[in-house]
């Protein structure tokens, strides 16, 4: 009985020593939701459409590469070619995050680099439908303004290309007239 008492007292004192040593250390847990932690750069969560500075919106061109490469088959993209534009624009970009494995393959194949990882870490829901998102919702209000800007940029690029071609043709014509173009 005395041996058990000594072992118990030793165990108690060891536990009190550990408690005392750790009582004055900085806590390792956060008081969520009152305190939010900053996630590291390596943190991977659900995908989002990244806003491009030169476009002022996402730059999804509805190529369908993300949809084809997804091993979970959780991405559905639809789009159209707006009148007066060469490139397509996505009109629907749905992701079922209940199926998404966050592998990142869609980010790797995106030709316009318009996909990125979200920094949010506290997404929750009651049912499967709570995780079905249309990623274009934040961009819908300003889509027509963005399309106008993109049309103007495409027209400006086409005019510059046409001017460069005309200058090249004029230089070739001038070279031909002076005989610089003859190899004889």
Tens of pLDDT, residue by residue over 118-169, are: 888 777 888 888 888 899 998 889 888 888 888 888 888 888 989 988 888 8
Taking 70 as the threshold, does the pLDDT of residue 20 lie above it?
yes
Mean pLDDT of 25-44: 81
The CATH architecture that domain 43-163 belongs to is 2-Layer Sandwich (3.30)
Mean pLDDT of 65-84: 93
Integer-rounded Cα Rg, in Å, for the chain is 30
User: What confidence category does residue 183 fall into, taking pLDDT thresholds of 50, 70 and 90?
Assistant: low
Q: What is the pLDDT of residues 76-134, one digit of tens each?
A: 999 999 888 888 999 999 999 989 988 999 999 999 999 999 888 777 888 888 888 89
pLDDT for residue 14: 95
∠ CA 51-41-68, nearest 5°, is 55
Taking 60 as the threshold, does the pLDDT of residue 182 lie above it?
no
Taking 80 as the threshold, does the pLDDT of residue 184 lie above it?
no
User: What confidence category does residue 67 fall into, taking pLDDT thresholds of 50, 70 and 90?
Assistant: very high
CB atoms within 10 A of CB 93: 25
Mean pLDDT of 22-28: 85
Q: Which position has the higher pLDDT, 43 or 5?
A: 5
Residue 50, Cβ density class (10 Å: 0-12 exposed, 13-18 middle, ≥19 buried) = middle
Taking 80 as the threshold, does the pLDDT of residue 61 lie above it?
yes
Taking 80 as the threshold, does the pLDDT of residue 49 lie above it?
yes
Integer angstrom CA distances of residue 77 from 71, 94, 119, 135, 183: 15, 6, 22, 10, 55
pLDDT for residue 53: 87
pLDDT for residue 66: 95
- Rounded (to 5) percent helix, strand, coil in the chain: 40, 15, 45
Q: What is the largest CA-CA distance in the chain?
A: 118
């Amino acid at each position: 009985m005395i041996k058990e008492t000594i072992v118990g007292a030793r165990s108690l004192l060891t536990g009190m020593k550990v408690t005392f040593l750790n009582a004055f250390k900085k806590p390792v847990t956060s008081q969520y939701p009152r305190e939010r932690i900053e996630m590291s750069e390596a943190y991977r969560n659900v995908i989002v459409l990244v806003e491009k500075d030169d476009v002022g919106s996402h730059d999804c061109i509805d190529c369908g590469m993300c949809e084809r490469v997804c091993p979970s088959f959780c991405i559905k993209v639809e789009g159209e070619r707006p009148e007066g534009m060469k490139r397509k624009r996505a009109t629907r970009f749905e992701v079922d995050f209940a199926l998404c494995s966050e592998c990142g393959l869609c980010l790797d194949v995106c030709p316009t680099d318009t996909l990125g990882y979200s920094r949010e870490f506290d997404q929750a829901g009651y049912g499967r439908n709570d995780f079905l998102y249309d990623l274009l919702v934040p961009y819908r209000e300003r889509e027509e303004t963005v399309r106008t800007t993109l049309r103007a940029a495409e027209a400006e690029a086409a005019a510059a290309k046409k001017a460069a071609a005309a200058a090249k043709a004029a230089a070739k014509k001038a070279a031909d007239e002076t005989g610089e173009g003859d190899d004889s």
